Structure 1
Amino acid sequence: MTEQQRRPTLMDVAGAAGVSRALVSIVMRGAPGASESTRQKVLETARELGYRPDSRAKLLRSSRTKLLGLSFSSSQPFHTELVDAAYAEASAKGYEIALSAVANGRPETRVIEALLDFGSEALILIAPTLSNQDLSRYAREVPVVSLLRDDVGDSLDSISSDDHAGIRLAVDHLASLGHRRIVHVDGGTAVSSEQRRAAFRTEMLRHGLEPLTLPGGPHEEDGMRVGQLLQANMPSAVVAFNDRCALGIIESFRAAGIDIPSDVSVLGYDDSQFARLSYVQLSSVSQDAPLLAAAAVDRAVDRIEGNQQPARIVRTPHLVLRKTTASPSGVQATTRPAGKAELPS
Structure 2
Amino acid sequence: MSERVTIRTVAARAGVSKSLVSLVLQGSPHVSPAKRGAVEQAMAELDYRPNLLARSLSGSRTGLVGVLLDDLRNPWFVDCLEALRDALHEQGRHTLLAAAGGGQGIDSAAVPSFRELRVDGLVVVGTVPGAQDLLRAARLPTVVAGNRDVDLPGVDVIANDDLTGAQLAVQHLVDLGHRRIAHLAGRFGVAADLRAQGYRAAMADHGWGDLVRVETADASESSAYSAAVRLLDADPDRRPTAIVAANDLSAIAAQSAALDRGLRVPDDVSIVGYDDTWLASLRAVALTSVDNANAEVGRRAAAAFDARIADPDRPATLELLTPTLRVRGSTGIPPA
The answer, yes or no, to whether TM exceeds 0.5 is yes
| Cα contact 1:223–1:248 (8 A) shared by 2 | yes
User: CA-to-partner distance for each residue in 1:8-50, whole Å, 9 max, x for gaps?
Assistant: xxxxxxxxxxxxxxxxxxxxxxxxxxxxxxxxxxxxxxxxxxx
- Mark the CA change 1:236 to 1:284 in structure 2 (over 3 Å): closer, same or farther: same
Opposite residue 95 of structure 1, the aligned amino acid is R
Q: Give the aligned partner of residue 325 of structure 1.
A: 331
- Mark the CA change 1:180 to 1:122 in structure 2 (over 3 Å): closer, same or farther: same
* Counterpart pick for 1:285 among 277, 290, 302: 290
2:54, 2:116 → 1: CA distance?
8
- Decide which moves more: 68-77 or 285-294: 68-77
Q: Give the aligned partner of residue 48 of structure 2.
A: none
Q: Give the aligned partner of residue 228 of structure 1.
A: 229
| Cα contact 1:220–1:246 (8 A) shared by 2 | no
Whether 1:309 and 2:306 are equivalent positions in the alignment is no
Aligned residues with identical type, % of pairs: 28
| Cα contact 2:192–2:246 (8 A) shared by 1 | yes
Structure 1 position 189, deviation (Å): 4.5
Structure 1 position 263, deviation (Å): 0.2
Q: Give the aligned partner of residue 244 of structure 1.
A: 249
2:325, 2:334 → 1: CA distance?
19
1:67, 1:112 → 2: CA distance?
13
* Counterpart pick for 1:146 among 144, 147, 159: 144
Local SS of the residue matching 1:145: strand
1:74, 1:230 → 2: CA distance?
29
Q: Give the aligned partner of residue 52 of structure 1.
A: none
Q: Give the aligned partner of residue 205 of structure 2.
A: 206
* Counterpart pick for 1:271 among 276, 282, 288: 276
Local SS of the residue matching 1:215: strand
Question: Aligned-pair RMSD on alpha carbons?
Answer: 2.1
Local SS of the residue matching 1:157: strand
Q: Give the aligned partner of residue 182 of structure 2.
A: 183
1:75, 1:117 → 2: CA distance?
28
Whether 1:103 and 2:101 are equivalent positions in the alignment is yes
User: CA-to-partner distance for each residue in 1:245-283, whole Å, 9 max, x for gaps?
Assistant: 111111111122210000000000000111111110100
Opposite residue 310 of structure 2, the aligned amino acid is E
2:114, 2:206 → 1: CA distance?
47
Whether 1:71 and 2:68 are equivalent positions in the alignment is yes
Instruction: Give the structure-1-normalised TM-score.
Output: 0.74
Opposite residue 224 of structure 1, the aligned amino acid is Y
Local SS of the residue matching 1:214: strand
- Decide which moves more: 129-138 or 82-91: 129-138
Gaps of 5+ in 1: 1-55, 331-345
Q: Give the aligned partner of residue 218 of structure 1.
A: 219
| Cα contact 2:56–2:118 (8 A) shared by 1 | no
Structure 1 position 79, deviation (Å): 0.4
Gaps of 5+ in 2: 1-52
| Cα contact 1:86–1:294 (8 A) shared by 2 | yes
Structure 1 position 88, deviation (Å): 1.3
1:197, 1:281 → 2: CA distance?
23
| Cα contact 2:106–2:129 (8 A) shared by 1 | no
Q: Give the aligned partner of residue 36 of structure 2.
A: none
User: CA-to-partner distance for each residue in 1:51-88, whole Å, 9 max, x for gaps?
Assistant: xxxxx899538442111211122232210111111111
Opposite residue 183 of structure 1, the aligned amino acid is A
- Mark the CA change 1:254 to 1:276 in structure 2 (over 3 Å): closer, same or farther: same
Local SS of the residue matching 1:103: coil
Structure 1 position 327, deviation (Å): 0.9
Aligned residue pairs, count:
273
Instruction: Give the structure-2-normalised TM-score.
Output: 0.76
| Cα contact 1:283–1:325 (8 A) shared by 2 | yes
- Mark the CA change 1:114 to 1:205 in structure 2 (over 3 Å): closer, same or farther: same
Structure 1 position 312, deviation (Å): 1.1
